[in-house]
Amino acid sequence: MRLPRYLAAVTAAVPTTVAHACTVCDSANGHQLRAGLFNGHFLHTLGVVAAPVPVLLGAVLLLHRLLPGFPEPSTEHATAQTFSRDLVPAEAAQ
Amino acid sequence: MIPREATRPLVTAGVVLGIGMGGFVDGILFHQILQLHNMLSNWVLRDSLVNEQINMVWDGFFHAFTWASVAVGLVLLWRAVTRPGVLLSGQALLGAILFGAGLFNLVEGTIDHEILQVHHVYQNGNHLLWDMVFLLSGVVLMAAGWLTMRTGFQKAHSCTQKPV
């Protein structure tokens, strides 16, 4: 894999501090972390972590295509709303 | 019936935003503040600094997805509000966001908690109960979101129908 080699190059450029506990640090901790991450299971784990993404994307596309129209408000409700709104400017004018 | 062409752009934008924001609630509240679980905490047990860091890196990938989802949602929202003929309603947008957050809980809860079992909501106890509550919260959020969307669009629609 090229990524660990790339990270090692980045590591050399990163000024290390007291803790040395970062993903790209050139320290025992950093090496352990990278060994735990970029092992033979990296792509499998990436696939597992990303598993909900295509399902969510599919759900959004399905909703976008099949979204039903929302029912209009009942006539009484609409009339009452229109009536009350019409009253406001009339009262304000007085 | 309110034409779906008038509601669809806002609904899609809100749902995508809701997925991202729902993911951020999960990541910020459960992963970071309460530390109930991490992305792989059922596979890589958090019993050492390195294992904790491995979980943290995968949490980062998860947050990258939620960030991207919010970014896409913002683009879709901008396109919706600048497109003529789209019914604009803040209440409907809130409903769509709630719906999206519920959809996130339902899908993430089913795949990550139940099928793949990469983590559970509460790692150290009766995880089934917590997982079920999480799934239920998804269904409740989706139902509440749908009702809020419907009311919001109906109010906005009756305003546009008002005689001048």
**Mean pLDDT value across residues A58-77:** 86
Whether residue A86 has pLDDT greater than 50: no
Read off the pLDDT of residues B98-114 as tens digits, 9 standing for 90 and up.
Answer: 999 999 999 999 999 99
User: Which residues 67-126 of B are in CB contact (within 8 Å) with A?
Assistant: 103-104, 107-108, 111-112, 116, 118
Instruction: Judge contact between A34 and A21, C-beta under 8 A.
Output: no
Instruction: Judge contact between B2 and A70, C-beta under 8 A.
Output: yes
Distances in Å between the alpha carbon of A45 and those of A42, B61, B118, B144?
A: 5, 11, 10, 34
Min Cα–Cα distance to chain B from A70, Å: 5
Model confidence at A73, pLDDT cuts 50, 70, 90, reads confident
A57 at interface of B, judged by CB pairs closer than 8 A: no
**Mean pLDDT value across residues A6-17:** 65
Instruction: Judge contact between B14 and B97, C-beta under 8 A.
Output: yes
**Mean pLDDT value across residues B20-26:** 97
Top residue of A24, A60, A61 to mutate, by most chain B CBs within 10 Å, is A60
Using a CB-CB cut-off of 8 Å, the residues of chain A touching B153 are 70
Model confidence at B162, pLDDT cuts 50, 70, 90, reads low
Cβ-based neighbour number of residue B140 at 10 Å: 13
| This prediction's pTM | 0.84
DSSP-derived secondary structure letter, B115: I
